[in-house]
Amino acid sequence: MNVTVENNRVVKIEGVPSNLATPEGPCIKGLAYVERAHSPQRIIRPMRRGPDGQFRPMAWESAIELIASRLEEARARLGPQSVLYYSGSGTKGLLNAAGMAFWRLFGGCTTTYGDLCWPAGLEATRLTLGENTHNAPWDLANAKLIVLWGKNSAETNIHQMLHVDRALEAGAKLVVIDPRRTETAERADLLLQLRPGTDGALALGVGHLLVRDGHADRAFIDTHVLGFDDYAALVAEWTPERSAEVTGLRVEQINELAMLFATMAPVTVSPGFGMQRFTNSGQAMRAMLALLAITGNVGKPGAGWSYANLQTQVFSHVKDPTDFYPPETPDGIVRVSISTAKLGRNMLAQQDPPLAFAWVERGNPIPQNPETRVVVEAFRRLEFRVVVDEFMTDTAREADVVLPAKNFFEQTDVIGAYWHPYLQIRPKIVEPPPEVKPETEIYRELGRHLGIDEEKLAAALPGPSNESIEAWLTAKLEKFGITLDQLRRGPVLSPDFREVAFDDLRFATPSGRIELRSEEARTRWGLDELPTFREAEERPKRGGRFPLHMLTPNTKNRIHSQFGNLETIRRMAPEPYVAMHPADARSRNLSEGDRARIWNERGLLTLPVRFDYGLRPGCISVTNGFWLVEGGAVNVLSMGRETDMGYGAAFHDNAVEVSRA
Ligand SMILES: Nc1nc2c(c(=O)[nH]1)N[C@H]1C(S)=C(S)[C@@H](COP(=O)(O)OP(=O)(O)OC[C@H]3O[C@@H](n4cnc5c(=O)[nH]c(N)nc54)[C@H](O)[C@@H]3O)O[C@H]1N2
Ligand SMILES: Nc1nc2c(c(=O)[nH]1)N[C@H]1C(S)=C(S)[C@@H](COP(=O)(O)OP(=O)(O)OC[C@H]3O[C@@H](n4cnc5c(=O)[nH]c(N)nc54)[C@H](O)[C@@H]3O)O[C@H]1N2
Ligand SMILES: [Mo]
């Protein structure tokens, strides 16, 4: 973004046309930073919760002293691993991720593995293609068939729609596969509203038709695909009738999708993150990927799998207990024992030592992680909690001390992305409010109070001046051959960038081929080597106690729990509601606007009903990100449960009932 600053205030935000992925500029959330940066709701000094539950300002000196003494006490009594360090997906950055360096100097800590967002899909992709990379975003314009599979790009990847539109103008067809008729679906030639959690069964049914009717690309398969014969035997059992029965689609719809795969090329499938929030979704995504592999739609312009792009994640890898801060590193001090998906339960279960202290930054786990009630309980059981944030979130409200966070205009950093291939600089352009310190400064002051060696601190974290930060970033960037000057001139393509992913048809899998059969699926995740289908663990049953499927997608006006507190956004999306098909509502004696109780054994939400004729009957939907204090935190209903691979969170394995409030 191009940002105009006047008198130390952000006054205008515009796009940067040289960024080919987002030439049209920021969405409403990006633009809302004009308000967000200077919002009167911002926390601008340390706050201490008193015995009456009210927060009052406290001086920095006392805040640091108090936190340091509580940390020292916990470390002396129970060991450093009694401290939980939790960081979420708020503002990323090379420097913003430096916190762990402090905790190592502290002597260690306990931290989380897995991720709320995308790991089942990442792992399914890695098992099949060897790595997570995709064609340049703008290459989508070359596709003749685009399948947005469980992805609502019109709201959650708005910039992608520009490239979808270009393809459609050039004659491409668009398929959307989603239980909801989303804004994205308005552009689609074919919308398949399948039963949630059954994408694997749809993909196998389509695979059946492609193989049966001779549409498999034998030449491509023979050289580049492993396990085709076994796959063919698997899909032989997935007649369109069986696939239709499981997915709740009609046989003709499955035929139609297969015909499109058979007759249109090149094909790009862009799967979403929402459909991989199930206990069977890693396997489902492998089955979906197989359709591209058997039709030779990999390694070509306009073709391929456009899930997530780790080309710019050159600085950090994806969290996983086996490759992220492995406990057997030389220091052996960081315990990676808490599943992000099961945060609350795992926090409560920790022993040797139990947890006493939590530090939360860049995340809001109380509304965003599964099973809110248990997460709240786990935080309340601790002896002391610190939250660093810009706003008084649900998680901050549970803290003993809340420290103000700088925003991204207030400290220089370098950032990557998870869709486009650019590395970018985010220069400091605004002085933070006088009592706001960036995390690096908070850590340095804490370090001094804890008696951590000055030299070690200085090596781990830059000093406060912009020069010191730039020197730190320059050193980190050196091994990638990138300079800050280059970044200052505009977005820079990642050194790993390739316009067409896998154009050399080399795959970093054990066999060097696209693996439809994966030994690692079995050895690492205990799953079938083939992408077989099994039902998600929690499945609503007609006539059962919890017959409705609860979906909690993202929405265009917020990023998860962020932005909803701003006036700009509230004008458009003021309050949470539950979307229901009128048939499901009326059979429960509910009309538009009535208040409904949405419940299961884990919790209860009470929300106004909105009719949505575009929703698959049997499904209800509440967008995630509303706050607990607004009565809209959807995760009071979800279960802390991992996906079948990758240690993701199976938010959408969620059966509920709705009744009149
Ligand atoms: N039921 C359900 N739950 C979901 C999802 C779902 O689809 N359904 N989606 C999941 C997904 S995909 C994700 S990614 C997660 C997101 O959940 P979280 O990772 O918790 O992210 P946010 O809700 O965006 O909250 C980020 C917080 O970081 C703060 N912040 C921003 N920048 C900074 C900074 O520089 N420093 C500090 N200290 N704080 C900062 C923000 O003010 C905000 O409070 O939610 C997950 N939860
Ligand atoms: N505006 C906005 N943009 C965002 C975010 C945001 O919060 N707001 N968050 C960002 C982040 S961190 C993420 S992870 C992405 C997520 O963005 P998306 O990938 O779009 O993911 P979701 O919104 O979780 O779900 C997408 C769609 O999947 C559908 N779906 C649910 N279950 C199933 C199923 O079983 N099968 C199929 N086929 N479809 C299903 C939902 O109805 C929904 O429309 O968006 C990113 N972009
Ligand atoms: Mo996410």
Nearest to 548 by CA among 619, 637, 636, 604: 619
Q: Both 340 and 433 in a single domain? A: yes
Residue 655 has pLDDT above 90, yes or no: yes
Q: Both 260 and 281 in a single domain? A: yes
Residue 336 has pLDDT above 90, yes or no: no
| Protein residues whose CB sits closer than 6 Å to any atom of ligand 1 | 88-91, 96, 116-117, 273, 277, 361-365, 368, 388-391, 393, 405, 439, 552, 554, 559-562, 624, 634-635, 638, 651
- Residue 359: its pLDDT value, please? 98
Q: How far apart are CA 526 and CA 464, in angstroms?
A: 48
Q: Both 337 and 245 in a single domain? A: no
Total length of the chain: 661
**Last residue of some domain: 307, 331, 349?**
307
- Closest atom, ligand 1, to C-alpha of 89: 19
Q: Could you tell me if 268 and 229 are in contact, meaning their C-beta atoms sit under 8 angstroms apart? A: no
From the CA of 150, how far away is ligand 3's center (Å)?
Answer: 14
Q: Both 221 and 344 in a single domain? A: no
| Those residues with Cβ within 8 angstroms of residue 300's Cβ, 6 or more apart along the chain or in another chain | 266, 500, 503
Binned at pLDDT 50, 70 and 90, residue 311 comes out as: confident
From the CA of 418, how far away is ligand 3's center (Å)?
Answer: 10
Half-sphere exposure of 426 (CA within 13 A, CB side): 19
Q: Which ligand is nearest to the CA of 365?
A: 1
Q: Phi and psi (nearest 5°) for 562?
A: -100, 155
- Residue 327: its pLDDT value, please? 44
Structural domain that includes position 396 = 65-114+317-493
Residue 128 has pLDDT above 90, yes or no: yes
Secondary structure of residue 174 in the 3-state scheme = strand
Half-sphere exposure of 342 (CA within 13 A, CB side): 12
% of the chain residues with pLDDT over 70 = 97
Rg (CA), the chain: 25
Tokens at 521, concatenated: 């699926």
- Closest atom, ligand 1, to C-alpha of 625: 23
In a domain, 181, yes or no: yes
Binned at pLDDT 50, 70 and 90, residue 479 comes out as: confident
Q: Could you tell me if 198 and 246 are in contact, meaning their C-beta atoms sit under 8 angstroms apart? A: yes
98-124 residue pLDDT tens: 898 999 999 999 999 899 999 999 999
- Residue 139: its pLDDT value, please? 98
CA distances from 311 to 72, 82, 113, 492, 531 (A): 40, 35, 21, 12, 26
In a domain, 126, yes or no: no
The residue contributing the CA closest to ligand 2 atom 1 is: 556
In a domain, 446, yes or no: yes
Q: How far apart are CA 355 and CA 381, in angstroms?
A: 9
In a domain, 263, yes or no: yes
**Residues paired with 549 in a beta bridge:** 619, 655
In a domain, 542, yes or no: no
Binned at pLDDT 50, 70 and 90, residue 333 comes out as: confident
43-73 residue pLDDT tens: 999 999 999 999 999 999 999 999 999 999 9
Secondary structure of residue 49 in the 3-state scheme = strand
- Residue 325: its pLDDT value, please? 37
Residue 322 has pLDDT above 60, yes or no: no
The residue contributing the CA closest to ligand 2 atom 7 is: 559
We report the CATH number of the domain holding residue 592 as: 2.40.40.20
Neighbour tally for 459: CB within 10 Å: 12
Residue 261 has pLDDT above 80, yes or no: yes
We report the CATH number of the domain holding residue 288 as: 3.40.228.10
| Those residues with Cβ within 8 angstroms of residue 530's Cβ, 6 or more apart along the chain or in another chain | 227, 230, 231, 234, 516, 517
| DSSP characters over 517-565 | S-HHHHHHH---SS------SS---TTSSS-EEEE----TT-BTTBSTT
**Average pLDDT of the chain?**
94
Which element (helix H / strand E) includes 336?
strand 334-339
The residue contributing the CA closest to ligand 2 atom 8 is: 559
Tokens at 168, concatenated: 């459609």
The residue contributing the CA closest to ligand 2 atom 38 is: 150
Which element (helix H / strand E) includes 422?
strand 422-426
Secondary structure of residue 3 in the 3-state scheme = strand
Q: Which amino acid is at 282?
A: G
From the CA of 247, how far away is ligand 3's center (Å)?
Answer: 26
From the CA of 357, how far away is ligand 2's center (Å)?
Answer: 33
Ligand 2 pocket check for 650: Cβ under 6 Å: no
**Residues paired with 357 in a beta bridge:** 83, 384
- Residue 396: its pLDDT value, please? 98
Residue 324 has pLDDT above 60, yes or no: no
The residue contributing the CA closest to ligand 1 atom 11 is: 117
Q: Both 429 and 560 in a single domain? A: no
**Last residue of some domain: 307, 330, 355?**
307
**What is the DSSP secondary structure assignment for residue 642, as one 8-state letter?**
B
% of the chain residues with pLDDT over 90 = 90
Q: Which amino acid is at 373?
A: R
Q: Which ligand is nearest to the CA of 185?
A: 2
Q: Both 181 and 245 in a single domain? A: yes
From the CA of 209, how far away is ligand 2's center (Å)?
Answer: 28
Model pTM above 0.85: yes
Q: Both 410 and 344 in a single domain? A: yes
**What is the DSSP secondary structure assignment for residue 85, as one 8-state letter?**
E
- Residue 331: its pLDDT value, please? 54
Residue 192 has pLDDT above 50, yes or no: yes
| Those residues with Cβ within 8 angstroms of residue 287's Cβ, 6 or more apart along the chain or in another chain | 199, 200, 203, 204, 207, 531, 533
Q: Which ligand is nearest to the CA of 368?
A: 1
163-191 residue pLDDT tens: 999 999 999 999 999 999 999 999 999 99
CA distances from 594 to 585, 599, 626, 630 (A): 10, 16, 19, 17
* Chain center to CA of 428: 26
Q: At what angle are helices 281-294 and 228-236 packed, to 10 degrees?
A: 110
Question: Which of 42, 89, 408 is the best mutation target for the ligand 1 pocket, counting ligand atoms within 8 Å of the beta carbon and taking the most?
Answer: 89
Q: Which ligand is nearest to the CA of 270?
A: 2
Q: Both 449 and 593 in a single domain? A: no
Question: Which whole number is the average pLDDT over 604-620?
Answer: 98
In a domain, 590, yes or no: yes
Residues 79-117 as b or e (16 or more Cβ within 10 Å = b): bbbbbbbbbbbbbbbbbbbbbbbbbbbbbbbbbbbbbbb
In a domain, 352, yes or no: yes
Q: Both 453 and 481 in a single domain? A: yes
Q: Both 346 and 482 in a single domain? A: yes
Q: How far apart are CA 214 and CA 240, in angstroms?
A: 16
The residue contributing the CA closest to ligand 2 atom 22 is: 274
Q: Both 10 and 75 in a single domain? A: no
384-419 residue pLDDT tens: 999 999 999 999 999 999 999 999 999 999 998 889
In a domain, 536, yes or no: no
- Residue 316: its pLDDT value, please? 56
Question: Which whole number is the average pLDDT over 203-214?
Answer: 98
Half-sphere exposure of 110 (CA within 13 A, CB side): 26
Ligand 2 pocket check for 46: Cβ under 6 Å: no
Q: Both 327 and 227 in a single domain? A: no
Residue 199 has pLDDT above 90, yes or no: yes
Number of structural domains the chain divides into: 4
Ligand 2 pocket check for 551: Cβ under 6 Å: yes
Q: Phi and psi (nearest 5°) for 549?
A: -95, 125
Question: Which whole number is the average pLDDT over 457-466?
Answer: 94
Q: Could you tell me if 137 and 299 are in contact, meaning their C-beta atoms sit under 8 angstroms apart? A: no
Q: Could you tell me if 654 and 639 are in contact, meaning their C-beta atoms sit under 8 angstroms apart? A: yes
480-535 residue pLDDT tens: 889 999 999 999 998 889 999 999 999 999 999 999 999 999 999 999 999 999 99
Nearest to 649 by CA among 524, 521, 538, 515: 538
- Residue 314: its pLDDT value, please? 64
Residue 320 has pLDDT above 50, yes or no: no
The residue contributing the CA closest to ligand 1 atom 45 is: 368
We report the CATH number of the domain holding residue 337 as: 3.40.50.740
Tokens 């860049």 locate to 362
- Residue 299: its pLDDT value, please? 98
